[in-house]
Amino acid sequence: MPVPKICVLRAPGTNCDVETAYAFDSCGGKAERVHLFQLLENPALLDNFQILCVPGGFSYGDDIGAGVVFASQLRGHLGESMRRFLAAEKLALGICNGFQTLLKAGVLPGGTAAALAADRDQSEATLTWNLNGKYTARWVHLKVTAPNNVFLRGIEELDLPIAHAEGRIVVRNDQVLKDWQQQGQIALTYAPWAAENGIANPINDRWAANPNGSTLDIAGLGDPSGRILGLMPHPERFLFGTQHPQWTRQGLTGDGAGRRIFQNAVEYFA
């Protein structure tokens, strides 16, 4: 099987790049942690990779908004390289802060070179503060609603952890949501825990299923081609069954459900 090269693109403040690179490597890929400054010095470096992943963290400290500075670099100084990458048959993944970055850069939801170059003020959607008004770290249950997305093939539902303060999807108008639904771009949604799951879900906890109040319970978005995915939960934090908070109760061993997302990306180039 051809071994795809993965660019795990980190910036000042990124803190999930090591585990994300490990996730790809453990699935048979060849990941390289590339600092944003390296790419700014040599934008053509991106041409050497088949997969781009922007991992989680707090790039630039989220000082003027989650992913805003990182996104401006992708749109501006790296715009031409990003447009070439998006025009090729390659894959892109954004996790948590990486999702915020891809969305605010214009890579999502359109996934096209034209979208990347579009006026930022005309964006269809953004990720903003959780409705509960605070940083939230917990496990959530997710349902896959875009099974044709490369990263989500063969997955129907899974548990993953979240850790963010700005994970709520808001859209410009209802037509945006209709377009996403018609084009199969709503990739993951927060869902209630199954009764047998065993994770605490207090009846009086209004945020139990959708902890950030995201519109239509959206936890992840894809592009129309299915080659790009952005999600707020962290699949790199569930590579092993024993990382699940109820692994003993559920008898989980071996691979964690999050690994499949990385495996799918590597196997796409088989």
Positions marked catalytic: 96, 234, 236
The CA dihedral of 133, 134, 138, 144, to the nearest 10 degrees, is 40
Q: Give me the residue label for tokens 């047998």.
A: 196
How far apart are the C-alpha atoms of 162 and 146, rounded to whole Å?
A: 20
Residues β-bridged to residue 159 = 141
Instruction: Find all residues with CB under 8 Å of 6, minimum gap 6, and list them.
Output: 21, 24, 29, 30, 31, 32, 49, 50, 51, 52, 53, 265
Conformational region of residue 117, where left means phi above 0, alpha means psi within -120 to 50, and beta covers everything else: alpha
Angle at 196 between CA 194 and CA 200, to 5 degrees: 75
Enter the tokens of residue 153: 């093939």
Exposure string over 169-183, b if 16+ CB within 10 A, otherwise e: bebeeeebbeebeeb
Residues β-bridged to residue 8 = 33, 53
Beta carbons of 167 and 190 less than 8 angstroms apart: no
